[in-house]
Structures are given as structure tokens and as C-alpha cells.
Amino acid sequence: MLEITEVNPLREGLTSRTMPDPCAVVIFGATGDLTHRKLVPALYNLAADGALPPAVSVVGFARRDKTDEVFRKELEEAARKFSRQKISDDLWAVFASSIFYHRGEFDSLEGYQSLAKRLDELDAQRGARGNRLYYLSAGPDQFPIILENLRKRGLNKERQGSWARVIVEKPFGTDLPGAQKLNAMVQEAFSEKDTFRIDHYLGKETAQNIMVMRFANAIFEQLWNARYIDHVQITASEGLGVEGRAGYYDKSGAIRDMVQNHLLQLLCLTAMEPPAGLDANAVRDEKVKVLKTLRPIHGEDVHQHVVRAQYGAGTVNGKRVPAYRDEQNIGMGSTTETYVALHINVDNWRWAGVPFFVRVGKRLPKASTEIAIQFKAAPAVLFNVDGQTIDPNALVIRIQPDEGVALRMSSKMPGSSLRIEPVKMDFHYGTSFGKATPEAYERLLLDAMSGDATLFARRDEVEEAWKFVDAIRAEWEKSADDLALYAAGSWGPTEADELIKRFGATWRRL
């Protein structure tokens, strides 16, 4: 891999980045929404930033019959709509020349045989050196079929001087046994070092910055423990409903769709110990240690520490929306949770006695994801006069949509009287660095091409997360009597407010 030096004209100093090896990126399920909205726009933006070698080829593999030209035109229309950067006609023409379409059935070996032939032809034409990156953007039920056929045709094998890697989209299993079975199937075709289980939350700039903020700034790391922190809140709120994902979501629910992967990953980054290094295994070792120290929630404890709920009819952004059970393609009488709040204990030395509150919900007032570190209050001995209260300090890490970090502290208001009010020191990525932050898929695709698995989930991470979630779901499956309701457009059920209130806290309003 070639390392190049990049000069940012808006800031002093130099940064280095790694140029990945030339390769063919094969997208299985290339006619789907993910390819059009995320993957191809991400690859275009990487090309626009000079981060892709010219020899990279993008090969779409799908069932529908179409030509390269038709496929390119469809992707151009999508890229003009979803790309982070405005599409340049000249640059798109160059980029589009690297896009190809290959028709094949996922369950037919013939399509893989012809794919192997076409990839060899592209190698000869474009100099991709035999490197292959397979992206499984199909439905999860197709993963075993695709993996088995890649293995049968030998497309999974590293040839002399080349590599073969696979990116697996979520959901990675639907429970622990399913994840273990899928892991075993993947391992038959690809080694762990060549397997990249993608979680787009880890590709977000602020998620990547959590370790830098903690371990490169002594001011924070000294306070990052039970002595100074009262509690931690991790919130992912969505204004949307199921939006065309009813078939998947009604079988999954909020805890499997969001908590098992995205939110537990953010919890791990927040709670982990300093890694021995910045290599992938050192970082992921520490995340696994956090998952292993989560106090299990099972049996009757589920009703004490977890709230599940489903949205009813209500108003979101001034628009009347139906109840979840009235959404199109949702089963009558569905008990699928669209909201879940958890009280989680991390049973280790650093976090003993510090509650972690995690919540996620659909049809909430706004879309936002954040981590809030709530510090303990200062002693009320100097300013406890005239009924004055002082808000505790809080460090808020915004994951999306407006990525950045804010620190809440207390300050005296101007004037002759002593009046203390909270103020906020706010850092925004866009304004501080003079450019928009890359999309998560840009970083993750680049890392996979470079062989860097730091921001991808390892096998034991996935299985430990499922172990924690499965214990909760086992209790839920006994009865749905504890399923609460909340109005669409509200911040969730009153039961969730009562959950956090037991610890003398309240949910932040985003």
C-alpha cells in the first residue's frame, strides 16, 4: 500500500493516509437500496478525494438483467441525489468507467463461474492484481448461499501476492445460535482477518474520535471513572417509523435492530480501557472485555431494568402518523417493540456503581444519536443561597446528525447579583475543520480495502453482544404484558422516565 501526504490548506501541518491496493469491489445485491444510497456515493466521494487508486473496479452482482450502461446510469441518478459532494460530470465519467454489472443467481454456481472469468478479464484490463473485496449487500438469508458458492468456485482464496476479503452487512444473525452458525459458515470461506462485519455507527467521525478524546486528553481520562461520573446516557432517537422495512423490523424490533450492534458498540467505546496499541485486535480486545463485564439481565430482573414499548398514533413534525400496528405490512396485534430503554451495569473497577442508561426509539420528536457523560455535582457549600441550584457538568458526544462535542458547565451571569446559569462549550466538526465529515461508509470501505479491521466487529464481539441481548428476549417471549405504549411524537413511555428516575436522574432532551 502506498502512503501519501495530504496537505490541508485550512490547517497547518501534514497528515498521512494509506492508499489501498487496487482491487475489484464485488457488490452482491447491487440493485438494492444500500448500493444506490450509500455504497456507490461513498466510493465516488473517495475517488473525488483522491483516496482510491485508478485501478479499482466496482462490479455489481444481481439477478436482474441489465447492461453496464443501464447500471451506470441508475447509479449516477442515485449519486446525484445522495452524494456528500456535488457530482462533477468529468469525474463521474471517469469513475463510471470503472463500474460493471454482472447478472447471476445467488444460488447458481454458474453465475460465480462467469464472475470469476470476468474478474480475471478486468484484472488484465485494469491492473487490479487479483485482489477481491466482496460486499454482501443482499438479504441475510442469502449470506450462507453466497459464501458457500464463493468457496465452491474458489473465489475466496488468496492467490500469490493478492488477497480476498468479505464485508458482511448487519443483521449478523438474529440470536446467539444464529450468529454462531453464520460465523462458522463465514470461517469456512474466509479467515477472521479477512472478515469485516460492518457497523456503520463505528464509521462515524465522532465515534472514531471517542478514543482520541479520552486517551489523548489527560483532562478527560483523569475524570473518566466512578469517582467523578454519576451516570452515562446513550440515546438513539428516530423520527421515522418503519419506512418500508416492515417485513424485517416486525421480526426484529428495537433491541435486535439497534441495541445489539450500534448502541452496545458505542457503550464499549465509552467504557473500554486504554488499548495496548491502535491495531485492530488491541482495540477490539478491550471492547470484548467490556461486553464480558456487562451484568446479565435475565428473569425477573428484565422487568426492573428494561422497558419496552410500541408507538401509538400521534403527531411528528406537525404531521399525523398512524400507530405501529396500523403501519403497512405490520401484523395485526404485533408485540414488536419500537422503543427500548435499559439500565446496564458494567461490573469492573472503573465503572463500579455507575449506571449506563441506553434508549432507542422510533417516532420520537427528532432524529439524533448522542452519548452524554453526566458528572457528579459539585459540593453545594459555596453557592447554595437563595434557593439556587447548580447543574452538574455534562460532556455530550453527538454522533449524528451534527457531529461534535459539547461541554456543559456553570458560569456567573453578568450583573450585580450572583446568578449562576449553565453554559455550553461546543465543538462542531464542520466548522472547526472547514469541511464536511466523510460519510461512515467512505471510511469503512477504505479500511476494508486497506485491510484495517479496527472499526469492524470481531466474531467474539458479535457473540458476546447477542448473549447479553438474548437473555432479555428470553424473558420477553414468556409474555407481552409489560409492553408499554407511547404516542408518536413524544419522548417515549412514562415507564422509561420512571426507570431512570429511580437513580435520581432524568433523560436528556435532545
Q: At what angle do helices 40-48 and 440-450 cross, to 10 degrees?
A: 80
In DSSP notation, 452-502 reads --TTSB-HHHHHHHHHHHHHHHHHHTT--TT-EEEETTSS--HHHHHHHHT
Cα-based torsion angle of the residue sequence 468, 470, 476, 477 in order, rounded to the nearest 10 degrees: -170
The residues pairing with 356 across neighbouring beta strands, listed in sequence order, are 232, 344
The answer to whether 288 and 264 have CB atoms below 8 angstroms apart is: no
Instruction: Report the residue count for the chain.
Output: 510
Q: Which residues of 432-466 are buried (b: 16+ CB within 10 A; e: fewer)?
A: eeeeebbbbbbbbbbbbbebbbbbbbbbbbbbbbb
- CA 207 to CA 201: how far, in whole Å? 7
In DSSP notation, 291-335 reads HHHBPP--TTHHHHHEEEEEEESEEETTEEE--GGGSTTPPTT--
- CA 414 to CA 436: how far, in whole Å? 36
| Annotated catalytic residue, options 262, 298, 343, 428 | 262
Closest to 257 measured CA to CA, from 182, 201, 174, 357: 174
The answer to whether 375 and 229 have CB atoms below 8 angstroms apart is: yes
- CA 195 to CA 183: how far, in whole Å? 10
Q: 331: Cβ–Cβ under 8 A, 6 or more apart, which residues? A: 250
- CA 300 to CA 322: how far, in whole Å? 32
- CA 395 to CA 392: how far, in whole Å? 10
- CA 297 to CA 305: how far, in whole Å? 7
Active site residue 262: yes
- CA 443 to CA 449: how far, in whole Å? 10
Which residues are catalytically annotated? 262
